[in-house]
Amino acid sequence: MKRTSARLADGREIIYFDLDDDAVRRLDDPRELPPVSTASQIRHDPLLDEWVAMASHRQTRTFLPPADLCPLCPSRDGKQTEVPSADYDVVVFENRFPSLSMGAVDPGGAAHVPGTPVGVSRAGLGRCEVVCFSSEHQASFRTLAPERARLVVDAWADRTAELSALPGVAQVFCFENRGEEIGVTLSHPHGQIYAYPYVTPRTAQMLRTARRYRDEHDGANLFADVLAAERSAERVVVASTHWTAFVPAAARWPVEVQLFPHRQVPDIASLTDDERDDFVTVYLDVLRRFDALYDAPLPYIAAWQQAPVHADRDVAYLHLQLFSIKRAADKLKYLAGSESAMGAFITDVLPEDVAERLRSVA
């Protein structure tokens, strides 16, 4: 893998990841761009003990442009995009409209939010990156050749390690939103990476549960025990030497699969070469099954659950959660009263039935 770093016109970093060590990419950006906003802040919700990011400048971000104006395509035919080079394999760059920024201005330390007696506000320190999986606008992760998909995994590993080393970063989250139904605003095949200044609520809850389980079960690891149980159940979709993909017993979403490595590791950067290769094989298989389910591209969110940077790395267990809000070929699952207001999910289909359907569309 060849890794080449440069700066865009407004100072944001861009990194090319190439399979060919002889690949040459354009590094200068001829555009004139305004400065990136540093107005992001995070506010603490005292009722839930959670942080919420405020990034009002994102209201003006690019929204569903036509293919010939896509900012994630290479710069060609006189059209300058976010990627100065005329071609690329995989490219990562800092988001032009970030929810978090290492340049965020501190609103005065742990300042109280006006009108709230206990809430506090801090600078939204962190980093948001865009990961373009392919230079081809009509491609998708599912259509990537295995060696290109492996390059994406290596890029995720690289960014996880680099972002984890930034001051103030508490957790790194790699993810992909696919489909307008999910809320995607750019149709080019891409994902994102967030480097948060706090541990996210879902991760914090899982790790609290894992610590309690360890204390109550003579040091056992909750994730490992869940994986062992799922591997012997009827919800397995695909299994390989190093990975198992299964529909979880208490799946919240109409179509949900979790991919676990058989070895406990804290993050993507800790995976061996064999584990990365094997992941690509299993993941591409699962994505093909997703699209075959309704004979059409399935909207989904792919979310890597990685350990926090500075805490609980001994109990955390890397895994990928892949899920779709599509409950039928022509129906979406909307998060209504119970789910949105109370966080209490009600699932319309049995996980065992979903697993059987996914196995049957091989």
Nearest to 265 by CA among 249, 284, 279, 282: 279
User: Does 137 appear as a known binding residue?
Assistant: yes
Listed residue (247, 255, 250, 252) closest to 323, CA to CA: 255
Rounded to 5°, the CA angle 95-97-100 comes to 80
Rounded to whole angstroms, the Cα distance separating 113 from 175 reads: 31
Q: Is 174 annotated among the ligand-binding residues?
A: no
Is 310 annotated as a binding-site member?
Answer: no
Phi, psi of 280 (to 5 degrees): -55, -45
44 tagged catalytic: no
Give the Å distances, CA to CA, from 2 to 18, 19, 83.
5, 6, 17
Please calculate the CA angle 274-278-281 and round it to the nearest 5 degrees. 150
Handedness of CA 159, 160, 165, 166 (dihedral sign): positive
Alpha helices in 35-172 (DSSP H): 146-164
Ligand-binding site membership of 128 (annotated): no
d(CA 88, CA 84): 10
Angle between helices 146-164 and 273-293 in degrees, nearest 10: 120
| 327 contacts 333 by C-beta, under 8 angstroms | yes
Catalytic pick from 44, 112, 190, 310?
190
Hey, which residues does 217 pair with through a beta bridge? none
Q: Quick count: other Cβ atoms within 10 Å of Cβ 319? A: 20
> CB-based burial of residue 123 (10 Å sphere; 0-12 exposed, 13-18 middle, 19+ buried)?
buried
Give yes or no for a contact between 222 and 207, defined as CB atoms under 8 angstroms apart.
no
Catalytic residues: 190
Binding site membership for Zn(2+): which residues? 70, 73, 137, 188
Binding site membership: which residues? 70, 73, 137, 188
